[in-house]
Amino acid sequence: MRRARQGTIPDMIQRYRGIVLAVPLFLVCSILFVVTRAPGSISRKAIPGGFAGSRSYAVIFDAGSSGSRVHVFCFDKNLDLLHIGKNLELFEQIKPGLSAYAKDPQQAADSLIPLLEKAESVIPEGLRRKTPVRVGATAGLRALGAEASEQILQAVRELLQHKSSLKFQSDWVTVLDGTQEGAYQWITINYLSGRLGKSYADTVGVVDLGGGSVQMAYAISEEDAKKAPKVSDGEDSYVQKLFLKGSHYYLYVHSYLHYGLLAARAEILKISGDVSNCISGGYHGSYEYGGKTYKASASPSGASFSQCRDDAVKALRVGEPACAHMKCTFQGIWNGGGGAGQQNLFVASFFFDRASEAGFIDPNKPVAKVKPAEFEEAAKRACQLSIDDTKAAYPRVATENLPYLCMDLVYQYALLVDGFAVDPSLEITLVKQVPYGDSFVEAAWPLGSAIEVVSSP
């Protein structure tokens, strides 16, 4: 019996091979279970660059007047942002901008090569042909005129077509108008705040106050979209239909040229004439904008909130021409019909800057809740001061902006309340950056452009 149980080593391995194989397999599975369940283990999404099964990238060039910038974003299959290295985007910039090469379009295009190479370097080689690249030029190229700007844009198109490994379409290189900027800004803020993919009533409206123009954008119902007035040839439509995160949106968006903060100063000074009720007392000077010079001298009695507001309302042309639609903002512009998509307003750019400089929001926090009435209160305080007292009271205001602090705050209040008919007591959100996960992301148009292009069917 004892001899019968004995055998060669190969015979024993063959007889007990199931046990031999099962033990190490069990140990490996146990180790994997412990590792994947361990507290603090890194999720797939948090790993730099990600290794999710389905990733997509987008490259957006912001060709501004002061410089060119490139943004690279990476999304997972749910259109959530993934890290690129330690950040939620790759961002690089160079100076000067494309408009500095007005007489040499090829040199303008070539100036983007270092940014292009940096963008391509962070995108896996196998995904580059699937990665869209867009170039959006803004104020700098607009100022060059149609012929010069188109020559530069064509040189950029040829650069991307022949020297880039990215997905490219000719119409992805363009001069952005204010309507496009407003739409992309709306996409950016609603995306970062987790509202895309929900009903239009759950989205937020956006007012973006730049230097040359101001944009209003908010989602409306399909029924209101059908009521949009027809526009003349060459004019931007009031409503854009967007497909984002699996949902269709009808976006009312309008850009008011000449009513950005810096441009509005010129419009108000046209109304006031030789002396202005909006200039800090004791200041006598001039204001330059758009290649023109305007007198900017204070009234002998100093600034006046009520008289300055009258001038601001006249500059906005509230009530003229007469409203030809159901309801208008200013200049006879259709207001989109109102509705749920406008009830929660996010207000960006110069609104945030002036509020922080005037001291009624914390400049160290990227988001603040305020009411339009707080701009009124701040304006009344600023308008009472002489230029010397303004300098002492508002150390955060740049020297060149001090004479116009009263005017800027009055205009911002008038724009919201008289222009856009926002209730003075309505709580609005001033935003510079939007929280996203454990990070903050700039509330700027390039992310909105990226989301649109990767969302396209």
| 124-133 pLDDT, tens digit each | 999 999 999 9
Beta-carbon count within 10 A of 72 CB: 25
pLDDT of amino acid 441: 87
Using 50, 70 and 90 to split pLDDT, how confident is the model at 290? confident
Whether residue 251 is found in the same domain as residue 389: yes
Same domain flag for 158 and 171: yes
What does DSSP say about strands 247-257 and 239-244: parallel, antiparallel, or unpaired?
antiparallel
Q: Phi and psi of 429, rounded to 5°?
A: -110, 120
374 is catalytic: no
* Domain shared by 322 and 379, yes or no: yes
pLDDT of residue 257: 87
| 79 and 15 share one domain | no
Task: Determine the pLDDT at residue 32.
Answer: 33
Which tens digit of pLDDT belongs to each residue from 60-86?
A: 999 987 789 999 999 999 899 999 998
In order of 218, 250, 253, 343, 409, the CA distances from 241 in angstroms are 12, 5, 11, 20, 34
Extract the tokens encoding 364: 């160290």
Give a three-class secondary structure readout of the chain: CHHHHCCCHHHHHHHCHHHHHHHHHHHHHHHHHHHHHCCCCCCHHHCCCCCCCCEEEEEEEEECCCCEEEEEEEEECCCCEECECCECCEEEEECCCHHHHCCCHHHHHHCCHHHHHHHHHCCCHHHHHHCEEEEEECHHHHHHCHHHHHHHHHHHHHHHHHHCCCECCHHHEEECCHHHHHHHHHHHHHHHCCCCCCCHHHCCEEEEECCCEEEEEEEECHHHHHCCCCCCCCCCCCEEEEEECCEEEEEEEEEEECCCHHHHHHHHHHHHCCEECCCCECCEEEEEECCEEEEEEECCCCCCHHHHHHHHHHHHCCCCCCCCCCCECCCCCECCCCCHHHCCEEEEEHHHHHHHHHCCCCCCCCEEEECHHHHHHHHHHHHCCEHHHHHHHCCCCCHHHHHHHHHHHHHHHHHHHHHCCCCCCCCEEEECEEEECCEEEECCHHHHHHHHHHHCC
Q: Which two tokens stand for residue 420?
A: 């856009």
Rounded distance between C-alpha atoms, residue 400 and residue 398, angstroms: 6
pLDDT surpasses 70 at 26: no
* pLDDT tens digits, one per residue of 235-263: 788 999 999 888 999 999 999 988 999 99
Give the mean pLDDT of 434-456.
89
User: Mean pLDDT in the chain?
Assistant: 87
Catalytic residue among 89, 181, 357, 376: 181
Contact 207, 348 (CB under 8 A): yes
327 shares a domain with 198: yes
Same domain, 450 and 434: no
Answer whether residue 403 is part of any domain. yes
Output the CA–CA distances (angstroms, integers) from residue 16 to 20, 21, 22, 23, in the order listed. 6, 9, 10, 11
pLDDT at 6 over 60: no
Are 345 and 235 part of one and the same domain? yes
What CATH code is carried by the domain that includes residue 209?
3.30.420.150
| pLDDT, tens digit (0-9, with 9 covering 90-100), for 368-403 | 999 999 999 999 999 999 999 999 999 999 999 999
CA dist., res. 85 & res. 102, Å (int) = 36
Considering the domain architecture, whether residues 23 and 62 belong to the same structural domain is answered as no
Residue 150's domain is classified under what CATH number? Answer: 3.30.420.40
| 85 and 208 assigned to the same domain | no
**187 in a domain, yes or no?**
no
The percent of residues above 70 in pLDDT, for the chain, comes to 88
One domain for residues 69 and 133: yes
* Count of domains observed in the chain: 3
Beta bridge partners of 184: none
pLDDT for the residue numbered 187: 95
Orientation of helix 305-316 relative to helix 372-383, angle to 10°:
120
Asked which of 47-61, 109-123, 239-253, 263-277 is least confident by mean pLDDT, the reply is: 47-61
Q: Is 11 a domain residue?
A: yes
For a pLDDT cut of 90, what percent of the chain falls above it?
A: 71
Stretch 31-56: mean pLDDT = 38
Task: Give the number of other Cβ atoms within 10 Å of residue 53's Cβ.
Answer: 8
User: Considering the domain boundaries, does residue 209 fall inside one?
Assistant: yes
**Each residue of 161-209: pLDDT tens digit?**
999 999 999 999 999 988 898 999 999 999 999 999 999 999 999 999 9
Task: Find residue 252's DSSP bridge partners.
Answer: 218, 239
Please indicate, yes or no, whether residues 92 and 14 belong to a single structural domain of this protein.
no
How high is the pLDDT of residue 178? 84
Q: CA nearest 352: which of 432, 455, 267, 439?
A: 432
Q: Is the pLDDT of residue 20 over 50?
A: no
Q: 386 lies in a domain?
A: yes
Is pLDDT at 121 greater than 60 in this prediction? yes
Q: What is the pLDDT of residues 136-160, one digit of tens each?
A: 998 678 778 889 999 999 999 999 9
Range of the domain at 103: 55-179+446-455
**Distance between CA atoms of 88 and 48, rounded to whole angstroms?**
9
Same domain, 333 and 252: yes
Beta bridge mates, 73: 58
Q: Is the pLDDT of residue 321 over 60?
A: yes
Would you say residue 258 lies in a domain? yes
